[in-house]
Amino acid sequence: MASTQTPKSIMHSVAPMLSVRNGAAAVEFYKAAFDAKEVFRIESPDGAVVSRLSIHASEFWVADESPEYQNFSPESLGGATTRMVLTMTDPDAVFARAVSVGARSVSPVSDKEYGWRVGRVADPFGHHWEIGRPLE
Amino acid sequence: MASTQTPKSIMHSVAPMLSVRNGAAAVEFYKAAFDAKEVFRIESPDGAVVSRLSIHASEFWVADESPEYQNFSPESLGGATTRMVLTMTDPDAVFARAVSVGARSVSPVSDKEYGWRVGRVADPFGHHWEIGRPLE
């Protein structure tokens, strides 16, 4: 499925590309944890993937790291320089589902003084996700 | 402008939050380089910012790093774990503008065998941007 077609919806857009070790496994994790849908995928003969995923109308990319091109996984650098803000109507349920399939709880879902109900997980590949919604 | 109102458009969404040193300066850079619009901002008394920016219909966040909460800037880790994919109808112009206001060219805009015309810059805060569009 190495199509190069690009829907018009992504023209004039910005989307993050997460570098990971084991991109193929990461794609499966994001599907299981966040109900992400894969909309595009390139696989190299060595198994490395570049995958575009969507969660509702939002898109992000996942790719195997390539330190020679300055694309580093959190495992390589010992931390992440971008976290993902996942806004969902039921953050408690999404948080629980993510943890049930392998994410690690960094801070449980709770009401914050800045007006959000939010929790934070680290995924098995070292990227962090803030899962929340604005309080009523 | 510490509003906590959230437009319905970001419910069920995922957006990256870039950790940087000097968030206030980074916001100004993203406005100048990519014509980003600031749609929400919180400032702490110490000058740290959390800012939500939009480029056309896409949103991303910028925040001062907080290593004590596992939010690291590329300067702190010596690289970035997420790169930003900026899809624009005229990548050459956007690339040139970014460089003119302080981005560093990592690879110039060129046609790639995978069907995109794309170049890559590093911004002054260490985040990398792939600026491109699909070839006809």
Q: What integer is the mean pLDDT of B93-122?
A: 97
What residues in B contact A81, CB-CB < 8 Å?
Answer: 18-19, 72-74, 77, 79-82, 126-127
8 Å CB contact of A126 and B81? yes
Q: What confidence score (pLDDT) does residue A127 get?
A: 98
- The pLDDT tens digits for B33-66 are 999 999 999 999 999 999 999 998 899 999 999 9
User: What value does the CA radius of gyration of chain B take, rounded to a whole number of Å?
Assistant: 15
State both tokens at B74: 């590329």
- The pLDDT tens digits for A6-45 are 555 557 889 999 999 999 999 999 999 999 999 999 999 9
- The pLDDT tens digits for A39-88 are 999 999 999 999 999 998 899 999 999 999 999 999 999 999 999 999 99
Q: Which of A90, A100, A101 is nearest to A131 (CA)?
A: A90
Number of residues that this document lists for chain A = 136
C-beta separation of A16 from B16 below 8 A = yes
8 Å CB contact of B73 and A81? yes
C-alpha to C-alpha distance for A73 and A83, rounded to whole angstroms = 13
State both tokens at A87: 């806004």
8 Å CB contact of B79 and A87? no
State both tokens at A46: 């060595």
Q: What confidence score (pLDDT) does residue B133 get?
A: 95
Can you tell me which residue has the tokens 């060129």? B110
CA atoms lying within 13 Å on the CB side of residue B105: 13
Mean pLDDT of chain B: 93
ipTM of the complex: 0.91
What DSSP element (H or E) covers A25?
helix A23-34
pLDDT band at B3 (very low <50, low <70, confident <90, very high): very low
